[in-house]
Every structure is written in structure tokens, then in C-alpha cells.
Structure 1
Amino acid sequence: MNHERSRELYGRALSVLAGGVNSSVRATKPYPFFIERGDGAHVIDADGNKYLDYVMGYGPLLYGHDLPEPVAAAIQSHAADGPMYGAPTEIEVELAEFVARHVPSVEMLRFVNSGTEATVSAVRLARGHTGRDKIVVMQGGYHGAQESTLVEGDANNPQPSTAGIPEEFAQHTLPIPFNDPDAAQAVFEEHGDDIAAVLTEPILGNMGIVMPVDGFHETLRELCDDHGSLLIFDEVITGFRVGGLQCAQGKFGITPDLTTFGKIVGGGFPVGAIGGRAELIEQFAPSGDVFQSGTFSGHPVTMAAGLANLEYAAENDVYDHVNSLGEQLRSGLRDILADQAPEYTVVGTDSMFKVIFTRDGATDRGSQCGAGCQQDPDCQHYDHCPKTGADVADADTERWERLFWQAMKDQGVFLTANQYESQFISYAHTEADIEETLAAYAEAL
């Protein structure tokens, strides 16, 4: 493939953008290819190269790059009426009503402008509600670029995970391993009276894709109830992608106190939201004492895009289609790995997928999970599949990034640029696309 135009653009970007990009995960080596436009399930770069797209904007593009007519019409109509107003509009009420009608934990919402802003606000709300400072997070979990969660280490020695965060901030954050109920019990035994909330993704989605083991979320729910802490589900990635309109909490049957949203709830436009019980959400100003505000919150074009996206999904076979393709793709990947790399692990659910380059996995695949790891204790791969963020970090991440990603790109398949972020299927993908993708995996592996 020719990438001369992308290389030229990257050279220009390096002189005016930090690292030549506006998000660190876009900085692929030796330089990123620059996207010119989308086309259904594909993207076309500045040099005219066409790729099957499984990045899908890191999740929000449920329909791919060609929106259904009602969605496109709603966006165009609201954009034509004016960019924004700094005042309430009916469309934000309608989107809030839709979300509250379908998501088990949500009675009331506050819309914001990003997933990061949603989790920042949810943590502030939990602290304001409980009068406590500490929060529990999962090692390897990701909750946006915010000071409270950019923390590494463990509950006994939390440290900032990036420069620019005072060490004192990290002392209020208690990281524990995902899928470790004993660690959860221990941190509550030591700090229970000081814990405002547990903040977790229902599925780790930025550290591979790690499904919960049976009973883990139930343990978190019980501990929060026993100690007067709030359980916050970060559904920025899983919201309206896993579990359909009920989101991952509906799929797993766990009702958190607060839920954060992003991505699909804004139809691909910048968005975030915090939902939960009315008595909690009403503690945001002006009805409560927890300050939260934003000039672009509830932006009418974003609200229209989100509502039209979700209404179309409710009225059509969107989730049946994307989930069926997800199962087809993961099952096909399982069969390829059985022949070529039995130690690797297929992960994912619904329309999310990934291959984790796990080391020292079971070479006898046996009766493994058929379409992605489900943390089944009867699976012969159970002791080897990732259960924590550390398990994913211990995989052969360098080979994934240095060799595999490039090999897939050369075959015209665009994947997330490292071992960690999830990949996504859209309504625009077809069975033929899946077969083409499986052939590319077989060649690259």
C-alpha cells in the first residue's frame, strides 16, 4: 500500500500537534494513516487505501459510517436549526426518557460531553452523597483521563500512573484486581467506612476484553450495600452495545447505583451521561449541593443523534445482526487458533471481540468457550484465560503491536492499534466481511 500522503500529513502534524496526534492511542508506528472518509463498514485513507473497519471510533459507531436514513435526517434537521443555544431543548428530555425507560438502574440522568466527564462527575457525586473520599477501582480498568482513576499499584500502595498528578490524590484511590472477590472483601474490611464508591466496568474493555467470573459483581453489590457505598458501573464502552438496550447491567442482572455512559448514547458525537436513582442524580446542582455544569452539555445535535440511533435499534434487528456476526467471527477465530496458536485466547461478547496473545495457554483446546471466553470453570482453557488486567498485560503485547497489527493493516483490516482496546462490529458489516476478516487473521497469525 502507498502511504505517502499520510506520511506527509504526519510530518505537518508533528509541527503543530503534540506527538502529531490528538489521542495517544492513534500514534501507530512508523506513522498513522490519516482517514479521509468512511464508507459503510470501511474507511478510506488519504492515499485512497480502503480498510475493513473494526475500530468503529472505539465503539460509538453502531451503524458504521453510513447512517440509517432516520438517523441522518434527525442529525441534519437539528444541525440546520442552529448549532447550540445554552438553554434546554425538548430533544434532551426525549433522550433521557428513552434511556430511563430501558436501562434498569436509571431513573434520572445528567448529560455531559465525554465519558471522562461522566466518570469525573459520578465520583464527585458519590463523594458528595456519602461524605467519604476513597474510591475502589479495578487494576487495568479505564475511566477516562481523570486524576481519581489514573492510579496504579494496589490498595496498599496506590501511585499516580502518569506525570502531572500529585501523589496525595492517588491515596484516595484503592486499586484491586478485577475478578478477585477476596481482594474486594479485604479492601472493605480495612477501609469500608471511608469508601464512597466502587467504580468498575462490567467488562474490562480497555484491557483486552475480560469478562466477569461468576459472582464477582454480586460480591461488589453486597459489599457496597453492607458498607453504605455506591456501586458505579462505567458503561461508556458497553452501554447500548453489550446487552442491547438494557446494557451490560441487564445482561448480567446487576443493578448499580450509578451508571456512566458515552459513545453510542450520543450516536458518535461527543457525549457522556450519568444515570441512576433519582434521589442520587438530584444531588447535582441546582437541585442539590454537588456542582456539575457544562456549556455544551445536552447539545441538541448530539441528543438528536443519540435518540435516533437508539430508536432505530429498538425498532429493527440491529442487535440480532451485530451479535450474530460477533459470534460468527469469534467462533471462526477460535477454529483458527486451534490450528495455528492454541495458546492464544478469543475474548468478547455481543459485538465486541479481540484475540489476546496469551502465553503458556492450554494447547488442548478441548471444549473451550465456543464464541469467546465466558470464564466457564468447565472450560479446559479456564486457568489460562485472562481474568485481570495484569493477565492481559502479561500477554505478548509487543508481537501484537509490532507484527500482527501491521500484517492485518497490510491486508486491508483496520484494528485497534494495540493489544488492549476492544474491537467492534457494526450494523454495516456483512457475513462476507467476516469471512474476509477470518482469512486475514489466518494469514497474519
Structure 2
Amino acid sequence: MHHDESRDLYDRALSVIPGGVNSTVRAIDPYPFFVQRGDGAHVVDADGNRYLDFVNAYGPLLYGHDPPEQVQSAIQSYSAEGPMYGAPTEIEVELAEFLARHVPSVEMTRFVNSGTEATVSAVRLARGYTGRDKIVVMRGGYHGAQETTLVEGEAGHVHPSSAGIPAEFAQHTIPVSFNDPEEITHVFERHGDDIAAVLTEPVLGNTATILPVDGYLETLRELCDDHGALLVFDEVMTGFRVGGLQCAQGKFGVTPDVTTFAKIVGGGFPVGAIGGKAEIMEQFTPSGEVFQAGTFNGHPVAMAAGLEYLTYAAEHDVYEHVNRLGERLRSGLTDILAEKEPTYTVVGTDSMFKVVFSRRGPDDLTDQCDSGCRQRADCPRFDHCPKNGADVQAAETNRYERVFWHEMKDEGVFLTPNQFESCFISYAHTEADIDRTLEAYDAVL
């Protein structure tokens, strides 16, 4: 492969875009390849190189780069009629009705423009509804570029993780370790009367794809109920990917008070949403006192794309197809690692997957989880597999980013470029694509 065009484009970008990219995660050493177009399960870069795409725009592209005809028609129709109006449209009502029919926690929805906007608004809503200030988050979780959650440290010793955030902001955030019921129980014992909400991804998708251990989400639900706090699930990534139309909350059987969405809910267009119980959601203005507004909220094209995206999934075998391929890929990876890198861990669920370059593993792999870590207590990997963000941080992150990712790219496979971001399978992928991907993993590892 040659990358002359991408190199030249990056050189130009450095002169007019900070760091040459518009999102930090796209910064790849020595430079990223620039995508020219998508084609089904593939992307083609500016130099004509073709890659199997498992990034899928970091999750929104459930159908890959060729959405169903009814989705394309809806997008074209709403674009042709006028892209937006600054007034309500029927399509936003229809999408809100769809969410209320299918997602356990949702009675009402407010549409915004990104996952970050959704989580910012959800935090404000929780504080306004409860009259409290403190928010509990998971270390290694990600909730967009917002001041409340860009923090690090231990409870009582928290500081911002980015320049530009006043230190005082972090004092209202309490980070805890995912999958540690004792730690969060202790936090509620100390601060329960001041906690407005626990904000967590039900699956830590921005930390490789870590599943909850048995009973952990139930513990969060019970603690919030006992102390009058809200349980907020960030399903920006898992929404309408894990658990099908009921999302991860349906898969795990734990219903939050509020849920945030983005990515798939907008059919690949910029979108975000906050959904929850009517009693809570009606605290948003104009019915309540928690201010929330936006020029592009409920953008008709995004609403149409999202509704048709989800309607097609409801009427076809979309989830059966992508989840079957996910199982096939994770099973194949498990077999490859058992032979070549037995300390590494396959993680993921449904159509999400990742290989964590974990440094330690059991001596005997007999009866290990056979298609990705399930946090099964009787699995021989249980004491070694990642349980939280710190466990993934302790993996061979440099080996993944500086060696493995580049060699997979040279094999024609486009994966998320760091150890932390999940990878995604789309409806456009085939069994042959999965087999080819396994061959690439086998060759590179």
C-alpha cells in the first residue's frame, strides 16, 4: 500500500486544523489515512486502498456504508423538502413514539445533536430534578467532551483530566471503579444525600467493551433507589446495537431512570437524545425549570434517517445477522489467541468486539468463555480479564497502537486505532469478511 495522497492531505490539514484532525481519536502516528468513500462493509482511502471497516464511524453505521433503500429515500425526501424549519415536525414525534414503544426506560424523549449534548443535558436534568450536585461516574467510562465527566482521581481527590476546566467543577464528580460494588456502596454511605445520579455505560464501550459482572447493574439500581438518586445509562454506543431494539438495558434487565442515545438513533447523522420517565423528563423547559434548547434539535433529516434505520431493523433480521457474525468473529479470535497469545482477552457482545492485549492470564484455558469475556465467575480467566478502565489501561496499549493496528491496516482491515475504543460489525459484513478478518488476525498476531 502507498499513502502519498493521505500524507499530502495531512500536511495541508496541519496548517488549518489543530493537530490535523477534527476529533482527537483520529490522530494516528505518523498520520491517518483519509477516507474518500464508503462501499458496503469497506472504506476506500484517498490513495485507492480498500479496507474492511470495523470502525463504522465509531458505531453509528449499523448498515455499513450502503443503508437500505428506504433509509436513503427518506433522507433524500426530507432534504429535498427543506432541511430544517425552527418549528416542530411530525417525524420527530414518530421517532419519539418508536423509542417509547421499544426501550424499557423511555416514556418521553428530548432530541439534541450529539452524544455529548445528550449527557450534558442528562446531568443537568438529574441535578435539577433531585436538587443535588454530585454525579458518580465510572473510571474509564466516557460521556463526551463535558466538564462534569472529564475528571480523574480517587473520591475526595478528583481533578479535571483536561486543561480549561476549573478545578471546582471536578469537586462535584465522584469517580468509582466499574464492577466494584463495595466501592460504590461505600460512596453512597458517605455521600448518598448529595448524589444526584450515577452516570454509567451499561457496557464500558470506550474501554474495550467491558461487560458488567453478575449483579453489578442491579446494585447500582438498588443504591439509587435507596438514596433517591437517578440511575442514568449512557447508551450512546450500546443503544440499538446491544440488546436490539430494547438496547442494553433490555438485555441486562435493569431499567434506568434516564437514558442517553446518539449514533444509531440518528441513522448516521448528527443526533443525540435523552429519554426517560415522563415525571423526570417534564422537568425540561418549557414544561419544567431545567433549561434545554437547540437550533438543530429534532433535525428532520436526522429524525427521518433514524426512524427508517430502526424501522428496517424491526422488520428484518438485522440483529440476528450482525450478532451471529459477532459470535463467529469472537469465537475465532478466542481460538487464535489460545494458540498464539493466551494472555490476551477477547471482549465484546452482540456486534461489538475487541482484543485486549492483557499481560496476564491463567495457566489452563479449559472451559474459558468461548466467544468473548462474559465475566463468568467460573471461567479460568475471571481473575485476569479486564473488569474496569484501569485493567485496560494496564494492557500493552503501545503494542496495540504502534505495531498491531498498523499491521492490520496493511492487511486491509480497519480497526479502531487504540486499545480502548470498541470495534463494530455492520449488516453489510458477510461470513467471508469475518473469515478474511480472522486470517488477518492470525497472520499479524
TM > 0.5? yes
Deviation at 1:320?
A: 0.1
1:216-262 alpha-carbon deviations (Å, 9 max, x no partner): 11111011001000000000000000000000000000000000000
The answer to whether the 8 A contact 1:136-1:176 is kept is yes
The equivalent of 1:323 in structure 2 is 323
The equivalent of 2:200 in structure 1 is 200
The equivalent of 2:344 in structure 1 is 344
The equivalent of 2:66 in structure 1 is 66
The equivalent of 1:264 in structure 2 is 264
Q: C-alpha separation between the residues in 2 aligned to 1:443 and 1:231?
A: 44
Specify the SS of the correspondent of 1:206.
coil
Matches within 5 A, 1:191-230: 191-230=191-230
Gaps of 5+ in 2: none
1:66-95 alpha-carbon deviations (Å, 9 max, x no partner): 011111111111011112101000000000
The equivalent of 2:23 in structure 1 is 23
Specify the SS of the correspondent of 1:119.
helix
Q: C-alpha separation between the residues in 2 aligned to 1:107 and 1:322?
A: 28
What is the CA RMSD across the aligned residues, in angstroms?
A: 0.5
1:256-311 alpha-carbon deviations (Å, 9 max, x no partner): 00000000000000000000000111110000000000000000000000000000
Q: C-alpha separation between the residues in 1 aligned to 2:348 and 2:154?
A: 26
The equivalent of 1:56 in structure 2 is 56
Deviation at 1:99?
A: 0.6
The equivalent of 1:381 in structure 2 is 381
Q: C-alpha separation between the residues in 1 aligned to 2:406 and 2:82?
A: 43
Deviation at 1:363?
A: 3.8
The answer to whether the 8 A contact 1:159-1:170 is kept is yes
Specify the SS of the correspondent of 2:176.
strand
The equivalent of 2:284 in structure 1 is 284
The equivalent of 1:125 in structure 2 is 125
Q: C-alpha separation between the residues in 2 aligned to 1:293 and 1:436?
A: 47
Deviation at 1:366?
A: 1.1
Task: Give 1:443's aligned amino acid.
Answer: A
Gaps of 5+ in 1: none
Specify the SS of the correspondent of 2:154.
coil
Q: C-alpha separation between the residues in 1 aligned to 2:224 and 2:206?
A: 24
Find out whether 1:32 has 2:52 as its counterpart: no
Task: Give 1:395's aligned amino acid.
Answer: A
Q: C-alpha separation between the residues in 2 aligned to 1:306 and 1:360?
A: 42
The answer to whether the 8 A contact 1:325-1:434 is kept is yes
Q: C-alpha separation between the residues in 1 aligned to 2:186 and 2:102?
A: 35
Deviation at 1:156?
A: 2.1
Q: C-alpha separation between the residues in 2 aligned to 1:178 and 1:20?
A: 34
Find out whether 1:273 has 2:273 as its counterpart: yes
Q: C-alpha separation between the residues in 2 aligned to 1:396 and 1:280?
A: 43
Task: Give 2:102's aligned amino acid.
Answer: H
The equivalent of 1:91 in structure 2 is 91
Find out whether 1:297 has 2:297 as its counterpart: yes
Task: Give 1:75's aligned amino acid.
Answer: I
Residues 363 and 403 of structure 1: is their aligned pair in 2 closer, same or farther, counting only changes over 3 Å?
farther
Q: C-alpha separation between the residues in 1 aligned to 2:389 and 2:133?
A: 25
The answer to whether the 8 A contact 1:6-1:32 is kept is yes
How many residues are matched? 445
Specify the SS of the correspondent of 1:158.
strand
Q: C-alpha separation between the residues in 1 aligned to 2:69 and 2:2?
A: 34
Q: C-alpha separation between the residues in 2 aligned to 1:376 and 1:101?
A: 32
The equivalent of 1:164 in structure 2 is 164
Q: Percent identity?
A: 74
Deviation at 1:364?
A: 2.1
Q: C-alpha separation between the residues in 1 aligned to 2:363 and 2:165?
A: 43
Task: Give 1:59's aligned amino acid.
Answer: G
Deviation at 1:403?
A: 0.3
Find out whether 1:251 has 2:280 as its counterpart: no
